[in-house]
Amino acid sequence: MREHVAPRREAAAGPSQKLQKALAGAGLGSRREIETWIAAGRVTVNDRVASIGERVGGADRIAVDGRPVRLDRSSERPKVLLYHKPAGEIVSRHDPQERPSVFDQLPRLRGSKWISVGRLDFNTEGLLILTNSGDLANRLMHPRYGMEREYAVRVLGELSPDHLASLQQGVRLEDGVARFEQVEPSGGSGANRWYRVVLKEGRYREVRRAFEALGFAVSRLIRIRFGEIVLPSSLRRGRYLELDQAAVAALMGASGAAAGVSGSALASAPVRTPRRQPRPGQGRGEGRPSAARKRTPPRKRSRPN
């Protein structure tokens, strides 16, 4: 079987980049997702079926499922949302069980879509970062950049010093060793105890499985920090906040997507208040405020009978 090789063509005008990176930067999806589209023949370049890894530029005509794609969006600053995910929502657009999705709560975008930076399982709460830039999402998730994830974990029972040491030295799971950067007791009463844990990867249900491997059931799990971004205490469950341009620039700098901006700017940069507030009136989140401004819903005026 002969391997398909893309035909040679003249260099496109302007700087070129790999096709999957260009489409991710335009906000169509993550690189991994786009690679599956290319492999399935859904992407064309200059009216021919594209191949993974080929380079494209501004003069190329690119289409997905026959629809033209604008690459110049990749030069625009990405949009970034902080969403306080409640338990009982799935981080997926397609669910055979038709459970509530976080994407149902978000504002609509034109010409692109929201991409989640990692996932939180159905019963996990807390900070979920979403962006319309597949390139930024890929950088934030890639292990090379070592973005820390911090969680508040409630378990049934109290961990011994040996248990704490095991979590930091590494607990063997079926898909490899889970190793926490930090594990600290964080209070609790009765049979329940809280712990703060920090790790630099995000495998499927990794925190829960690591505790279960030591014989402890996790009754509540909340992500309270991702990299430099802390879940704002003013952000209620089921609501979102949009980062302003200064905070987005800081996030891009911290992920290596842009240079010259300190990640510490995320601690002070304000965010834009959302135009739409899904699920008002739900409980408050946990963690310290970071780059957030509280929005007070308008009061309902009673009408005379």
Q: Which of 121, 162, 175, 244 is catalytic?
A: 121
* Residues β-bridged to residue 194: 154
**Rounded Cα–Cα distance for residues 211 and 205 (Å):** 10
Structure tokens at 210: 């690591």
Structure tokens at 206: 């990794």
Q: Give the sign of the dihedral formed by CA 170, CA 173, CA 177, CA 181.
A: negative
In sequence order, which residues have a C-beta less than 8 Å from that of residue 302 and are 6 or more positions away? none
Structure tokens at 274: 């959302």
Structure tokens at 66: 């026959």
Q: With DSSP H G I counted as helix, E B as strand and the rest as coil, what are the percentages for the chain, rounded to 5?
A: 20, 25, 55
Structure tokens at 65: 């499922």
Q: Does residue 121 carry a catalytic annotation?
A: yes
Collapsing DSSP states into helix, strand and coil, what is residue 28?
A: coil
* Residues β-bridged to residue 182: 198
Nearest to 128 by CA among 237, 288, 207: 237
254 HSE (CA, 13 A, CB side): 22
Structure tokens at 61: 């005509």
**Rounded Cα–Cα distance for residues 209 and 170 (Å):** 12
Structure tokens at 90: 């799935």
**Rounded Cα–Cα distance for residues 172 and 114 (Å):** 34
Catalytic site positions: 121
